[in-house]
Amino acid sequence: MCSILLVCAGGFSTSMLLQKMQKAADEQGVRVQIEACGTGDVSYFKHYNILLLAPQTAHLEEALKEQYHMPILLIDGLDYGSLAGAAVLKKALEKYSE
Which residues are tagged catalytic? Answer: 8
Q: Could you tell me where the DSSP H helices lie in the chain? A: 12-28, 61-68, 77-81, 85-97
Bridge partners (DSSP) of residue 37 are 7
- Report the chain's terminal Cα–Cα distance, integer Å: 15
